Structure 1
Amino acid sequence: MMSPVAAPAAGRDAFWRDAALLVLALLAVHALNLAVHRDLWVQDEARYGEVLREMLESGRWLVPHLNGFPYPDKPPVYFWLVAALGALTSQGELAFRLFTLLSTVAATFGTWVLGRRLAGPAAGRWAALCFVTLFGTLVVGQIARMDMTLCATCVWAWVALHAHETRRSRAALVGFWLASAAGVAIKGPIALLFTVLPALLRPLGARDWAGFAALKPLHGLGLLVGGVLAWIAAVWLDGESAYLVTIWNEQLVGRAVNSWSHREPVWFYVTLLPVLLMPWTGLAVSGARTFWQSEPIAARFVLACLLVALLAISAISGKLFIYLQPLLPLCAVLAGVGCTTLLAQSRIGTEQALLPVVWFTLLAGGIGWGTHDVLGNNPRGFALATILGLCAILGFRLSRQPPRRWLIGWTGLSAVVSWVVFGALITLVNPLYSGKPLGEAIARLAPGSRPVAIVHSTRGILNYYAGRLMTEVERTDIAAWYLLHPDALVVIQSAHLSYWFPEGKVPACTTDETYSVELKEYRVLAGCPR
């Protein structure tokens, strides 16, 4: 018979073993790719790099600026955090990518804790491992954006919310509202759709008035509004009142109106989510069914938070796959339940076994097609596609193995996807999506105060590596603008040259260089006859 002291000790040992396992998984699947250098890619990464560069150069920390103009799209807190990390390492690409890695670590451990509390230690362990190796996490965990940071704030908000609901803990309630506020500070009001909206609608939908009141919504929303008002006051006192008007017109009123006009269908995310959950899509579905039958209260918590947030973000106009990242921890918890259920069985179902094989096959085919169509039949690209094809074959053979070996095998194969796609392949595609060569050419050709015009291009995508501001000119105005600035350097896409030279032929300019960025050809021109 086990002594009373032995059981807690064994539990602590298992806890730390799981923690060590997750650290190793994160190091292998995500941190290892940091050794492969890549530039900040256009569009978003280079734009965020420029926002931070201008913050550091100007010392204007309250209001983000992009190419000299106020940048109302995102709050400043993400850039503050990256700058703080950069002060310890170095300001640049590494700081951005390292901050994403740290956010992935926080989101992973949050998923682990949430899974443990909802479904037990084994489900929590597998939920975290599934989250680390989900295709969506593999992608977002390598991008210099704030979406993984938002994901971390959301999962810890759910951990605190569940603790409050089960124990009526005041500390947990404060933690929920603080985590929700952190999400808003990182990403903006959209963060509330993932945390506060589900938290308030769940008790209202169940007519649980006591549960709704226990959330202290007036106090919590007051905290959020108070924080926003304090920041608005600071911006106003700093003389940036025009920035507040821009936020109101573009980010609040503008987005509210545009939310009724959809570029993608409302069901866009429903079809995309299964892809981001690969190779654990089948386990997430089976886990949801099992969870509902075995632990209906905990299942309702997960599914309500998941579905309310999914419906809410499906109702807004702008839709990118990366916006689904905050929902992946909830899906990973369902997959973790599916893993524990599978381990109790003697064999793996045919559909469950074939789904990830098909996924790997399609992924290999996509890399092969991209190598032919974009990379000029680069042998290394075909080699990487072949590796994934072999992984698909190995995955098929894993279907004959016991469930535990199958799960461990597919966890390892998902790590291979990370190494192939975000390690080896990155060196091949980096020149295609980096603006560094063009940016450095601008810095070389236009030193000092020489004017530079960027024609009809997205703001800020070349400034970071050029290390300077540029004049933004519409393609229809470039001919007239150049007449007034004959000493300027002009950066223009080849597709837009006809707006400057209607005859379709570029005259002999003293500077005429060609660069490719994001599969678009750019010309750098100066000293052109007028």
Structure 2
Amino acid sequence: MNPCASLSHARPLWLRSARAELLLFGVFALLLLGLGIGLRDPWPSDEPRFALVAQWMVEHGQWLFPHRGHELYPDKPPVFMWLQALSYYLTHHWRIAFLLPSLLAALGALALVYDLARRLWNHRSALLAAATLLVTIHFTYQMRNAQIDPLLLGWITLANYGLLRHLLLGPSWRWFAVGCFFAGLGVATKGVGVLALLMLLPYLVARRGHWRQLALPVGGWRWAGGLALFFVPILGWLLPMLLVAHADGDPQHAAYVQNILFGQTVHRYATPTGHLHSPFYFLGIIVVDWLPLSLLLPWALPAWWRRLQRRDARFLLPLGWIVLMLLFFSFSPGKRDVYILPALPMTALALAPLLPGLLRRRGVRLAVCALTVLLAGALTAAAALAIHRHPAWAVKIEQSLDPQIWWMLLAIGAAGLVIVALTRVRRAPLGWLLFAGVLWSVYGLWGYPMLNGDRSARDVMVQARAMAGPDATIGLLAWKEQNLLMAAGPVAEFGFLKPWPQQYAEAIAWQRQDPAHRWIFSLDEAMGACVDRHRATYVGHANRREWWMFQANAVVPGCVPGASADPQADDTL
């Protein structure tokens, strides 16, 4: 069926034309997700790390073995960084390039949810499903960030799309091959991309139980051939890496291969060292982070159950896949909210045929209206209190953030209250849509430039260069990725994962070789008592840290600072 032809006969939701509605939604989605791109640099915790790796790829041609400075970075496969580097070749602007893969993944996921829901049900349900996904807080927030998980969501959604086109709307072996291929690309991006293939388990249950709305493709060799495509992108990355590591005999490359294949997959899942939570952790994420979508679940759960009792495979496959994914991550002691992010598009898809009826229910509208009032009211009240009363919590926040943040939050909150007054309960879903548009637009256009200097460490690195002068070399001690990424002029670094005392010893030895032209830029804690702060210069505060600069005359002879913190600890900003 031609999708453009079907749209011309589709029943519109708001406007006179389904095509016009889809075009308007596309523009709204692009603005909601894209406003602010180009107005900020990478922010911790992960964005500077990946951007630094991508920048190193562009500048040094190190594509198979990612580097964080001069050290190898073995924590993640390089696909996401490859795409950031490719985006730079296309745009020639890192402020755009580092966010472009996430933006495209988000827009792609919305298009796939819409198209699949339209094929399974109709345009109205599909448009509401895509809109619900777009304005769910967890989706919007994460897809505006330059991390691997938004790209993984894009690959898994594309894999699920291909599989469901075959299993529900097929047979279509071409789409089955597409689904398997992009599941493999998800593995090459972040190992858990294989979870897309769990869609085959509820399909087997439905096929054995003779469920309705199910395609019944036959051809054993085609199943095997499609699944073989799963390994193509994985081997396309692994084989060159393994061949180069074997050929050059570099022990660092051998350690990288061991870590990326086992340390960051099996060991990280079975014996994680951080982010430890209870098996019920993701239930809290769904309730809070998935607002306002989660407000629909009390009505959706019994509706889904009724459709499962009718043996409707259009619900069993996406819902069964979501349950399997939640179980998989719940069994591991280590959990983060982004692990279940790829479940959001399939949840919106399963909600699609229910949304036209749900959004007409007064209880649903009351809940959505209450959420808008509570969030807008809380922002307004907190901002007004901070501006006029300066309570202790506001003063503490202002130590890290620009005080103008209160005016931004006040503007967002006040706009939300005006929207609620205009839309009221009757049009509460539209009210949340408009409020989300205001929130993320203001955050991108006002918040990004305002917060960028501190969050990205740009301000302290500019100040450090001003202190050292244009020709001096700055050595980075106990640095974070944003410091090296934002550094201007000649710099040196002494490893990222090395213990701070070892970095300090190497930095001091390096400085002694040319004390007149070498400065050291250091985290306060890493200097300990080995640097005379009366002779050192305070650079500034960034990312909740204090930074100093000193020359050789500030060094206490014979002193070695203690290791007071773990240099590998993640940023929490």
TM-score, with structure 1 as normaliser: 0.85
Question: Which secondary structure state, in structure 2, belongs to the residue aligned with residue 34 of structure 1?
Answer: coil
Alpha-carbon distance, 1:55 to partner: 0.6
Distance change in 2, residues 1:217/1:310 (3 Å): farther
- For the residues of structure 1 that align with 2:279 and 2:68, how far apart are their CA atoms? 31
Name the residue aligned to 1:231: 237
Question: Which secondary structure state, in structure 1, belongs to the residue aligned with residue 113 of structure 2?
Answer: helix
Name the residue aligned to 1:201: 201
Q: Is the 8 A contact 1:284 1:334 kept in 2?
A: no
Distance change in 2, residues 1:16/1:69 (3 Å): same
- 2:320 partner letter: A
- 2:258 partner letter: V
Q: Is the 8 A contact 2:166 2:173 kept in 1?
A: yes
- For the residues of structure 2 that align with 1:380 and 1:8, how far apart are their CA atoms? 46
Q: Is the 8 A contact 1:154 1:180 kept in 2?
A: yes
Q: Is the 8 A contact 1:283 1:334 kept in 2?
A: no
Name the residue aligned to 1:493: 523
Question: Which secondary structure state, in structure 1, belongs to the residue aligned with residue 10 of structure 2?
Answer: helix
Question: Which secondary structure state, in structure 2, belongs to the residue aligned with residue 522 of structure 1?
Answer: strand
Question: Which secondary structure state, in structure 2, belongs to the residue aligned with residue 462 of structure 1?
Answer: helix
Alpha-carbon distance, 1:411 to partner: 0.8
Q: Is the 8 A contact 1:260 1:316 kept in 2?
A: no
The structure 2 residue matched to 1:147, chosen from 143, 146, 149, is 149
State yes or no: 1:252 paired with 2:254.
no
Moved more, 474-483 or 408-417: 474-483
CA deviation string 1:301-355 (max 9, x = no partner)? 2221212112222333443333332122123335544531135557855445323
- 1:353 partner letter: C
What is the 5 A alignment of 1:438-477? Answer: 438-440=460-462, 445=468, 450=473, 452-455=475-478, 457-458=479-480, 460-466=481-487, 470-472=493-495, 474-477=499-502
Distance change in 2, residues 1:443/1:310 (3 Å): farther
The structure 1 residue matched to 2:432, chosen from 392, 410, 431, is 410
Alpha-carbon distance, 1:131 to partner: 1.6
Alpha-carbon distance, 1:142 to partner: 1.9
Runs (4 or more) in structure 1 with deviation over 6 Å come to 209-217, 366-370, 446-449
Name the residue aligned to 1:60: 62
Moved more, 219-228 or 122-131: 219-228
- For the residues of structure 2 that align with 1:7 and 1:492, how far apart are their CA atoms? 62
Distance change in 2, residues 1:379/1:254 (3 Å): closer
Question: Which secondary structure state, in structure 2, belongs to the residue aligned with residue 311 of structure 1?
Answer: helix
- For the residues of structure 2 that align with 1:217 and 1:70, how far apart are their CA atoms? 39
Distance change in 2, residues 1:388/1:275 (3 Å): farther
State yes or no: 1:342 paired with 2:389.
no
Name the residue aligned to 1:3: none
- For the residues of structure 2 that align with 1:499 and 1:125, how far apart are their CA atoms? 62
Question: Which secondary structure state, in structure 1, belongs to the residue aligned with residue 341 of structure 2?
Answer: helix
- For the residues of structure 1 that align with 2:229 and 2:107, how far apart are their CA atoms? 27
The structure 2 residue matched to 1:174, chosen from 173, 177, 183, is 177
Name the residue aligned to 1:111: 113
Distance change in 2, residues 1:246/1:410 (3 Å): closer
Q: How many residue pairs were aligned? A: 512
Moved more, 91-100 or 282-291: 282-291
Alpha-carbon distance, 1:500 to partner: 2.7
What is the 5 A alignment of 1:307-318? Answer: 307-318=323-334
CA deviation string 1:164-216 (max 9, x = no partner)? 11222111211110121222222x211223x11x2233245568399799797
The structure 1 residue matched to 2:345, chosen from 329, 335, 339, is 329
- For the residues of structure 1 that align with 2:508 and 2:362, how far apart are their CA atoms? 78
Question: Which secondary structure state, in structure 2, belongs to the residue aligned with residue 40 of structure 1?
Answer: coil
Q: Is the 8 A contact 2:42 2:482 kept in 1?
A: no
Q: Is the 8 A contact 1:51 1:65 kept in 2?
A: yes
- For the residues of structure 2 that align with 1:475 and 1:234, how far apart are their CA atoms? 35
Unaligned runs of 5+ in 1: 1-5
Alpha-carbon distance, 1:126 to partner: 0.7
The structure 1 residue matched to 2:137, chosen from 135, 138, 145, is 135
- For the residues of structure 2 that align with 1:70 and 1:218, how far apart are their CA atoms? 37
Distance change in 2, residues 1:355/1:477 (3 Å): same
- For the residues of structure 2 that align with 1:202 and 1:243, how far apart are their CA atoms? 37
Question: Which secondary structure state, in structure 2, belongs to the residue aligned with residue 523 of structure 1?
Answer: strand
State yes or no: 1:432 paired with 2:445.
no
The structure 2 residue matched to 1:386, chosen from 402, 407, 410, is 410
Q: Is the 8 A contact 2:8 2:18 kept in 1?
A: no
- 1:38 partner letter: R
The structure 2 residue matched to 1:31, chosen from 30, 34, 57, is 34
Alpha-carbon distance, 1:125 to partner: 0.2
CA RMSD, 1 decimal: 3.4
Answer 1 or 2: which has greater helix percent: 1
Q: Is the 8 A contact 2:152 2:186 kept in 1?
A: yes
Question: Which secondary structure state, in structure 2, belongs to the residue aligned with residue 74 of structure 1?
Answer: coil
- For the residues of structure 2 that align with 1:250 and 1:354, how far apart are their CA atoms? 46
Distance change in 2, residues 1:43/1:150 (3 Å): same
Alpha-carbon distance, 1:518 to partner: 0.7
Question: Which secondary structure state, in structure 2, belongs to the residue aligned with residue 144 of structure 1?
Answer: coil
Alpha-carbon distance, 1:432 to partner: 2.4
Question: Which secondary structure state, in structure 1, belongs to the residue aligned with residue 35 of structure 2?
Answer: helix
Structure with the bigger RCO (C-alpha within 8 Å, sep 6+) is 1
Alpha-carbon distance, 1:34 to partner: 2.6
Name the residue aligned to 2:549: 524
What is the 5 A alignment of 1:151-162? Answer: 151-162=153-164
Distance change in 2, residues 1:41/1:34 (3 Å): same
Question: Which secondary structure state, in structure 1, belongs to the residue aligned with residue 265 of structure 2?
Answer: helix
Alpha-carbon distance, 1:264 to partner: 2.3
Question: Which secondary structure state, in structure 1, belongs to the residue aligned with residue 278 of structure 2?
Answer: coil
What is the 5 A alignment of 1:362-373? Answer: 362=378, 372-373=395-396
Question: Which secondary structure state, in structure 2, belongs to the residue aligned with residue 30 of structure 1?
Answer: helix
Moved more, 222-231 or 17-26: 222-231
- 1:99 partner letter: P
The structure 2 residue matched to 1:506, chosen from 524, 530, 533, is 533
What is the 5 A alignment of 1:158-307? Answer: 158-166=160-168, 167-186=170-189, 188-193=190-195, 195-196=196-197, 198-203=198-203, 208=208, 219-238=225-244, 239=248, 240-259=253-272, 263-294=276-307, 296-307=312-323
- For the residues of structure 2 that align with 1:391 and 1:111, how far apart are their CA atoms? 30
- For the residues of structure 2 that align with 1:237 and 1:152, how far apart are their CA atoms? 29
Name the residue aligned to 2:570: none
- For the residues of structure 2 that align with 1:379 and 1:243, how far apart are their CA atoms? 44
Q: Is the 8 A contact 1:384 1:425 kept in 2?
A: yes
- For the residues of structure 2 that align with 1:261 and 1:27, how far apart are their CA atoms? 35
Distance change in 2, residues 1:69/1:220 (3 Å): farther
Percent identical pairs in the alignment equals 21
Q: Is the 8 A contact 1:475 1:499 kept in 2?
A: no
Question: Which secondary structure state, in structure 1, belongs to the residue aligned with residue 319 of structure 2?
Answer: helix
The structure 2 residue matched to 1:72, chosen from 71, 74, 77, is 74
- 1:189 partner letter: G
- For the residues of structure 2 that align with 1:248 and 1:83, how far apart are their CA atoms? 23
Question: Which secondary structure state, in structure 1, belongs to the residue aligned with residue 98 of structure 2?
Answer: helix
Alpha-carbon distance, 1:109 to partner: 0.6
Moved more, 487-496 or 158-167: 487-496
- 2:487 partner letter: A
- For the residues of structure 1 that align with 2:503 and 2:104, how far apart are their CA atoms? 44
Question: Which secondary structure state, in structure 2, belongs to the residue aligned with residue 514 of structure 1?
Answer: strand
Alpha-carbon distance, 1:395 to partner: 5.7
Alpha-carbon distance, 1:366 to partner: 6.5
TM-score, with structure 2 as normaliser: 0.79
